[in-house]
Structure formats: structure tokens, C-alpha cells
Amino acid sequence: MKCLTTLLFFIVPAILFSQRMQLNIGAGIINYGGDLQDKNFTFQQSNAAFSLGLSYIISEHFSVTAAYTTGKVSASDTRTKNYTRNLSFQSNINEGSLVLEAQLKEINDLNKFTPYIFGGVAVFHFNPYTFDTAGTKFYLQPLKTEGQGLAEYPDRKQYALTQFAIPFGVGAKYAISQGIMLSTEIGFRKLFTDHLDDLGSKTYADTAILRSAYGDVSADLSFRGDEVNPPQVFSTKLTRGNPNRKDSYYTCLIKISFALGNSSASLRSNSSKKMRKQSSCPPKVL
């Protein structure tokens, strides 16, 4: 009897929650915004992205979604107007998010389409890397290319590879059937780091100091203007990045959602009851 009670303790809530759950599968693109892009929003230099999530339907207008999103962001000066700086990076993004979604219209038997907005919190992991002229891959954060941790640059702290973000965006969804929903959305991330690309907004660190403290690779990859033709003249007075251009990343996804249990039918049933109640004739007054 005790075992049966314990089993029911776990099964009953799972069944109840499943009545309002949806499985979301998404695919699309992910892109980076920052110093190595000409525009804040563009499809240039974008890469594939994928997402998997679960939504809990709170009501006809609100739901909360936990999702995992992954993709690669990358950018290069050689593909922008600032090619003489010659910096580039790539990084895999792994993000876990929890967002609240608000539908502007109710999905029911008479209305199958609605726009929506969303916002929440996220934790993401990144690790920028680049390639030297010989094609050798180097992760940039350990190289401290801006002089992080050196006494000569006390204001330059090492950045963490796991950070918080604020995801927000807009989308639209369409009910294909009672239990299947198709949606498309654009999601932006407000970041609290300017080193997604390893490129901060400080001046160039002295390459001689970098070479002495962190080695040749750190010095060589901190300034790469000498690799272009004609080679650029190095100066510690030059700003490496734009202090007014903070890093971000964003996704454009197409999602398909599957109702688990009879969540969709339950909500549609409630909606139908409301419509019948609203459309019923008022009683006669004698």
C-alpha cells in the first residue's frame, strides 16, 4: 500500500501537468551582433540553430517555456568594411532559457492564428576561438589578448564563459490541427558581457608585454593588422573595439509544437464553452 501511495504521488501530478504540456522542436539561424558585424541585425555570417523545449499552458493567453538552444556564432572583419583590423572569431552557443509567453489572441475553433510576445531569463555558455595564418585553432579567452590580469591594465578583468542573458522577442503561431502548432519567431538576447567575440572596447595591449607575460600566440592574435596588405601600423592608442557597440546574439526559428496528453483539446473545450455561453440568447423577461 505504501509503494502504491508513493507511486501515485509521482504519477498523478505528472498526468495533471501533461494535460497542459507541449513539446517544441525548432530550427533556423543564429547570428551575432557586435564589432565584427556592419549591422545590428543581418543574416550575413549567420549559422544554423536548433532548439528543444517544453511549454506549460497556464491559460488561453499565457504559457511558460523551458528550452535548450544551440548553434554557432561567428564573424570576421574581412567580411565587413573594417577589414584592416583583421580580427575574427567563432563560438558555439549552448543556452538554457525560461520564458513567459503571452498570446495576443486566443487559439480556438474559430481562430487558428495569433501573434505573441515573450521574455524571460537565460544562462548560456560560449568559448570564442580563432585560427592563425597556418590554420591552427586557438581558444581566445585563455590567451588574455587584451592584457587581462596584468598589472599594467588593472581595469581589464578576465571574462567568464558562462553568463546570464535576457531573452525577448516576438512571433506568430498557427494551429495546424487540434494538437499541432506551427510558429515562427525572432528572439534577441540582452547580454552582460562585451566579450562574446573576445573583442572588448579597450585600447590594444602592448604586444611586447603580452609576449613576455602570455607568450607569442597571445601577442600575435591580439593585433592582426600586420597580416593584411598593406600591413597596418600597431599603436597602443588605437581602440580595439567600439565602446558603443555591445555584443548580442539573436535567433530566427521555425517551431513545431505537439500537445502532450489532451492539453489542446482541454483548452479548446473550455474556449467552446465560453463561446457558447457568450452567444446564448438572454432569457425572456416577463
Residue 272 lies in a domain: no
- Count of CB atoms situated within 10 Å of the CB of 150: 17
Residue 39 placed within a domain: yes
Q: What is the CATH number of the domain that holds 225?
A: 2.40.160.20
Inter-residue contact 273 to 266 (CB < 8 Å): no
d(Cα 94, Cα 189) in Å, to the nearest integer?
13
| Cα–Cα distance measured from residue 39 to residue 41, given in angstroms and rounded to the nearest whole number | 5
Q: How far apart are CA 109 and CA 21, in angstroms?
A: 19
Q: Does any domain span residue 126? A: yes
Closest CA to 95 of 121, 132, 126, 69: 69
Residue 150 grid cell: 596584468
Alpha carbon distance 96, 92 (integer Å): 14
| Residue 23, H or E segment | strand 21-33
Query: Beta partners for 162?
Result: 125
Determine contact, residues 193/247, Cβ cutoff 8 Å: yes
The answer to whether residue 16 sits within a structural domain is no
Q: Which amino acid is at 165?
A: A
Share of the chain residues as helix, strand and coil, in percent rounded to the nearest 5: 20, 40, 40
**Count of the separate structural domains present in the chain:** 1
Count the residues in the chain.
286
Give the pLDDT confidence score for residue 31 in this predicted structure: 97
In a domain, 6, yes or no: no
Please spell the DSSP secondary structure of 142-188, one letter per residue.
GGTTT-TT-TT-TT-PPPPSEEEEEEEEEEEEEESSSSEEEEEEEEE
Would you give per-residue pLDDT tens digits along the chain (286 residues)?
454 444 344 434 444 455 689 999 999 999 999 999 988 889 999 999 999 999 999 998 999 999 999 999 999 998 887 778 899 999 999 999 999 999 998 888 888 999 999 999 999 999 999 999 999 999 999 999 999 999 999 999 999 999 999 999 999 999 999 889 999 999 999 999 999 999 988 899 999 999 999 999 999 999 999 998 888 898 999 888 888 888 999 999 999 999 997 654 445 445 545 544 444 545 544 4
CA 267 to chain centre: 30
Does a structural domain hold residue 4? no
How is residue 224 written as a grid cell?
592582426
Burial bucket for residue 219 (CB in 10 Å: 0-12, 13-18, 19+): buried
CA 100: distance to chain centroid?
15
| Residue 26: its H or E element | strand 21-33
Which pLDDT score, from 0 to 100, does residue 244 have?
Answer: 82
Q: Could you tell me if residue 237 is inside a domain? A: yes
> 576561438: which residue's cell?
129
- The domain in which residue 216 lies consists of 21-266
pLDDT of residue 2: 52
In-domain check, residue 188: yes
AA identity, residue 271? S
